[in-house]
Structure formats: C-alpha cells, structure tokens
Structure 1
C-alpha cells in the first residue's frame, strides 16, 4: 500500500421513539367478518430495496494533491458563498491518507448495500483522480433522487481527540435537510455505538454535529449525512482505520445504518 504525506486539513440529536400497545388474541373480543361478494383487495406491494438509490461519497481523491489549481477553484458553498472545489484531505502520522481510507471503506459499503439489493451510486470510480468538487458531490444525490446520501471521511484533529461524529446541515435549507437528515445521522450514530465505536470526545454532542460550512450537505435536497469515522491522529482511532477488520466493521456499521433508516 502506498504511503504519501498529505498536509492535513482541519475539518442534537433528535431520536423520536414511538410505541404502541397491542392486545393479545386471547384477550381480544371476537369479531365477525362482514360478508361480501366483492373480491378481496390485493395488498399493496412492499417497496423493494432495488427501488432505493443510495449515494456513497468517499471524500477527497488521490490525484488532488498534484492538481492544486483544480482543487482550489472556487465553487458554491450552498449558502451564498464560495469555497475550494476540494482539499487533499488529512493523513495519519505514518502517511496513510484519508482519501485512501475513504475509498476503501466506501467500496466495502457499496458492496454490502448492493448485496442487500440497493442501487448504489459512487461519487468517484477510483482513488486516482481529481474531484468531483464538493458542490457536484452535493448535487449527485439530487440528480439521482437518492433515498439517502452518505459521505465518508476521517478527521485530522489533535492526537488527544478521539471518536466518530456524524454531520448534518444546520440550519436546514430545505425539508430533507431537517428531520430526515437528522434521522439518517442518528441512525448512523446508533449503528456505530452498537458496533462498539465511541462518539467523539472533542466535537459535536453525543456523536452528532449540525453545521453550516459543508457544501455537500448544504446543496443536497436529499437526506444526507457526513460520517467522520474517527481521528487519524489518534492512536486508537487510526489503529482501527488501518486494520482491514476495522475498516470492515466501520463499513458494516454504515451499511446497517442506511438499511435501518430506509426500512
């Protein structure tokens, strides 16, 4: 595996629980079905996972560092301003790059969701190119009417900072950025916790972080969340990220969260 140094960049939860009581068959009063000569109505068909489009966006790209003019080009930030097309992403102290990690986890998530029958669209096809820009990544889900969009990243915070966090657009600019995106982010958070991962100790609240500075989230009109899988400068987090088993666990947590959200 290639190791190159990339200059790191510096990058509530509303869980609504509904319950209902049921009456057991032995306690319920017997009912007599009305007599009708009309044929019984066919049940509505269940939505097939194959009808659900999921966009997976592995952040950054491997060729960005060699094309500073392209990735520094200004694009819409989704809130009336501009920002750079993209960045190179961060890296671990040993040179393991974020763009490589994002791509490897993204492939695993794609395969897991495809195996469940979802139609998965990736924002990039490999880890050797430049872009797409952050505005194009935000538009990809819109153009494909995605049921969910998940952007995969890793953080480059100080070494003492530990844990994952899920980002969503706040304040929301459209309906999808409101409750739907918060529910997606919360499903991701809950899946990570169930898999044994720790919510961030240094940012957000209980693993969730609403923010206004991420163009991909701002531009999306589909339910969208950005996953920071951990801190690449933290010894515990990077040990997980550099392990094939750790990346598989992270990918499974993401795929399980998307499945739970859509079901």
Structure 2
C-alpha cells in the first residue's frame, strides 16, 4: 500500500535558524517576481494550453495506513511462501509525481488488478484453508503469502504496487478494478478473484505477487494459463491472448526495471505456463500472474522494498498492458 505511516512517510525537515531571515528575504523578492511575470505574460510567453492541469495529473492517491506492519504466521503446508522474522520498514520513496497527463488511449478498456493475498489472512486460518474447486482439482481458498527475511509481507508489497499500477492505467483512460483493496477481513478466495475479473468483462487482468523461493534464486517471472478443460475451468479461449499479454508484460518489465528474468524458472525467458492456479484456471478473460522477484533473496528483497523500484515495476506492467490492449 502507499502508506502514510512509518513505513513510507518521508522524514520531516529540521527547522533552520536561518528560516526567519530567509522568509523576510523571500517576501521582499515575491512582488518583484510577480511584476516580472506580469511583464513576461504581457509580451507573450509560451502557451502550453494546459490550464494548470499538470499538477492534478501528477497527483497520486494515498490509501490509509493499517494499524500494524507485522506479518502473521504462515499457513498452507504446500505453499513455499512463508513469512518469517519481524518486519522492517521498506525504503520510503513515494510514487513519481511527474507522470504525463492522461492520454485517454485506454478509454473504454477495463483492467482488473489482483493484489495477491491479504495482509489479514493470517488471522483467518480456518477460512483461508477452506478448499475451493479450481476446475481440475481442489485448492486452498488463499494463503498468507511470503515475506522478506526481515518480515515485510508480500501482501503489503502487492497492494502497494497495485495502487501504483492503477494510477498509471487510469491516467491512460482505463477503468480499473481491484479484487481487494485492504478492505476485506481476509481473501478473497482464488475462485472469487477470477470471478471478479470475469464479471467485470476485463480486457486484461493481472495478479501481482512476489515469490518465496530459496536464497540465490533471483528475478521475475510471468505465469500464463495452460489449456484446462475440466469441471468449472475452461481456459481454451484465453490461452493465446494471455500468452500475448504475458510476453508484453515481461518485455516491458525487463526494459523499465532493468531486472533480469528468473534464474530458476522459465529457462531465462521469464515466462512460465501453469495449470494448477485457480485464478488462471477459472478466468474467462486474458490474465497473467507476475512474480516480481524473490522476497527470500536479500538482493531481490532490496529491490522489492524500495519504493522507487516498485514504481518502476508498476510502470513496466502498465506499459506491457497498454501495448497488449492497443494491439
């Protein structure tokens, strides 16, 4: 999340003993500056036609901070993503405020963003361990996700990147829907996450995650749906467009973040196909997952906990989605 609490709030400047004299000096200069601007305007300065809209275009919404930053105990014996240790505050860079005004290139397009897991899942072990049908098998409703070795949870990472991505896509004119926005006590379950995208008739959907693999395993990978036609799952219509979406997201992610594809999955391509993920199996719209890096590797964790890198990650995803939707 784009918190305003201790994790993300920039340090406040110290009051300087020179502040009073500087204030007096600036007060004396302001009338002269205004007079100079009046002369400049009168003789015809450049007209950008923006009407003061640039500041509004650069504004970034900041959701409210939760009451605690600590991860809870992990659940789900089959999930490699397990939090450990106590939390440390990630780097506090804020999202960039210098983005261009909305171009409207995605007007009429719907994008669903699925921030993986939920910060409160650990408090609802019974609910998230409940099995749901994902077509070709049954799977837990959700998991707690992983965390850095210092304890910063994947669920907070995914929500922060989702907010940044939402802002970028909305600037392009897209209608954006999140599957959860820190507004639920747990979940949603993987089948509901897919259903939200289906019911929105999304033109593209992306599920944001970070991996919990072993130290030394580094890099990102994009997961695409494989062909499944069993039970409630039928991915045959979305396999090809999802593969195209995945390739574009992966290509843009490399270019914008400078991060290499996974060195432990995907044979160096950064692309992986799976048929066991309910969020993909049950989707009827083009959809991919992205594992942005490995939270359990210290080098990757340094990137994932950096606000400036998370902004680049969102920009890479956004550019890939825009490229896919514009064809």
Distance in 1, matches of 2:209 and 2:196, equals 17
2:246 corresponds to which of 145, 160, 185: 185
The answer for the alignment partner of 1:225 in structure 2 is 288
- TM-score normalised to structure 2 length: 0.67
Q: Secondary structure at the match of 1:260?
A: helix
Give the whole-Å Cα distance in 2 for the aligned partners of 1:223 and 1:109.
17
In structure 2, how many angstroms separate the alpha carbons of the residues matched to 1:250 and 1:127? 24
1:237 Cα offset (Å): 1.0
Q: 1:170 deviation in Å?
A: 1.2
Indicate whether 1:210 and 2:277 are aligned.
Answer: no
SS in 2 for 1:108: helix
Question: Which of 67, 70, 79 pairs up with 1:3?
Answer: 70
Higher relative contact order (CA 8 A, sep 6+): 1
Distance 1:6 1:127, change over 3 A: farther
Determine if contact 1:62/1:128 at 8 Å carries over to the other structure.
Answer: no
Distance 1:68 1:106, change over 3 A: same
Q: What are structure 1's unaligned runs of at least 5 residues?
A: 12-46
Residue pair 2:111, 2:176 contacting (<8 A) in 1 also: yes
| Residue 157, structure 1, aligned to residue 213, structure 2 | yes
Partners of 1:169 and 1:178 in 2: CA distance? 6
3-state SS of the aligned residue for 2:207? strand
CA contact (8 A) 1:169 1:212 kept: yes
- Say if 1:5 and 1:91, in contact at 8 Å, map to a contact too: no
Residue aligning to 1:251: 314
1-structure distance, mates of 2:209, 2:73: 15
3-state SS of the aligned residue for 1:49?
Answer: coil
> SS of 1:51's equivalent?
coil
Residue-by-residue CA offset, 1:15-37 (whole Å, 9 max, x unaligned): xxxxxxxxxxxxxxxxxxxxxxx
In the TM superposition, structure 1's runs of 4+ consecutive aligned residues that sit over 2 Å from their partners are 3-9, 171-177
Post-superposition Cα deviations, 1:20-64, rounded to whole Å, max 9, x if no partner, equal xxxxxxxxxxxxxxxxxxxxxxxxxxx962211000000000111
Q: Which has the greater radius of gyration?
A: 2
Please say if 1:117 is aligned against 2:184.
Answer: no
**Contact 2:180–2:188, Cα closer than 8 Å, also in 1:** yes
The residue number in structure 1 matching 2:261 is 199
Tell me the residue number matched to 2:128: 71
Is the 8 Å Cα contact of residues 248 and 320 (structure 2) preserved in structure 1?
yes
The alpha-carbon deviation at position 6 of structure 1 amounts to 4.3
RMSD over aligned Cα atoms: 1.6
CA distance in 1, matches of 2:72, 2:264: 25
Distance 2:140 2:279 in 1: 12
